[in-house]
Amino acid sequence: MSGAPGFVRVFLMVGYNERRSQPPGNPMTTASTHHDSVRAVEWRDDALMLLDQRRLPGETALLRLENVPAVVAAIRNMSVRGAPAIGVTAAYAMVLAARAIPDCEPAGWLAGMEAARARLAAARPTAVNLEWALAAMMAVAHEHPRDQQALLAEARRIHEADIAGNRRMGELGSALIEPGRAVLTHCNTGALATGGYGTALGVIRAAAAAGKITEVLVDETRPWLQGARLTAWELHREGVPARLIVDSAAPLFMASGDVGWVIVGADRVAANGDVANKIGTYALAVAARYHGIGFMVVAPTSTVDLATATGADIPIEQRDGAEVFGDLDLPASVAVANPAFDVTPAALVDVLVTERGVLRMPDTAAIAALMSGPGVGGV
């Protein structure tokens, strides 16, 4: 790929829009479970393989990444996105880093690993899973200096644990859903945003498999259209009934009485239960509370950041304004603000679903108890 940092190979596959009635085969497919056929991140033949999410749904393209600069670029340009998926990607990137450091004494090797860690950590600041995964990899690096196999084993463990946790969250969240109504979701929180299966979309997958939901209302999610391009694509592949709506139409559908839950993911959960998620989430929480609709946040405990006291302390990524206006020919004097995330106060969160259990109306005490306890189930 011309101009890309590091070495990147791109493999193009069948386009989604060419045959809308029959979902294409996915070169990253490794799962066989019903409603679970997508994987966005894989380690294959000593390289990191990513499903390039910028090209979906028109093309299914694989990126083969073989060094840290290429991975940093993929995270920044959103070839890979979603807090858990970024964390898994960064874990594998640390294996690439270990391989690239020249043979030297352990202290020098660890210095090189720390430099790679810092570079990856700076790629996107809001998602706490990135730092969490990097810290886990550095712990192994200190315990087993220069041991690439130990690092690869830890990266695979992080990846497998994410998928297992997502399946558990799917079970716990689905159990809360009464059958016969629609659910509404925002952004993309499925297999594309995680190691596999998904967080909020994992709950929706589980509920759909159980025949509980009539349809999924999918916000388009401006300005990157993760809902329109990615969530709609995933649900189409899995045969889950879905309708795409513009973001501003969500309250209208809530008012109809057909929506039972709003189900979203999170990029960071503060110690008091405040939730940072894709821009537009806060407005959905306000509208859901007004209409008496349950607001469910689904996130692994790796997304909970006890070091961040409240949502006010969460860094909000500001992206290029060109993403907002696209092809519009705006006057140069028009300023554009493009925050990638907003913060939903804990008081608007009815349920927080994690792999360790379910918190109703999460607050500081409940979050602390969740993170200190080993149990799984209702909390």
Catalytic residue list contains 103? no
Closest C-alpha to 226, from 256, 198, 259:
198
Closest C-alpha to 190, from 283, 319, 93, 51:
51
**Amino acid identity, residue 303?**
T
CB contact at 8 A, 91 and 137:
yes
Distance between CA atoms of residues 107 and 40, nearest Å: 34
Phi, psi of 350 (to 5 degrees): -75, -40
Go through the chain and tell me how many residues it has: 379
CB-based contacts of 62-65 (< 8 A; 24+ apart in sequence): 62/10, 62/11, 62/13, 62/27, 62/28, 63/1, 63/8, 63/9, 63/10, 64/8, 64/9, 64/10, 64/11, 65/6, 65/7, 65/8, 65/93, 65/96
Helix axis angle, 200-209 to 148-174, nearest 10°: 50
Distance between CA atoms of residues 215 and 318, nearest Å: 33
Catalytic hit among 162, 219, 267, 274: 267
- How is residue 158 written in tokens? 């992080």
Sign for the pseudo-dihedral over CA of 250, 348, 209, 164: positive
Catalytic residues: 267
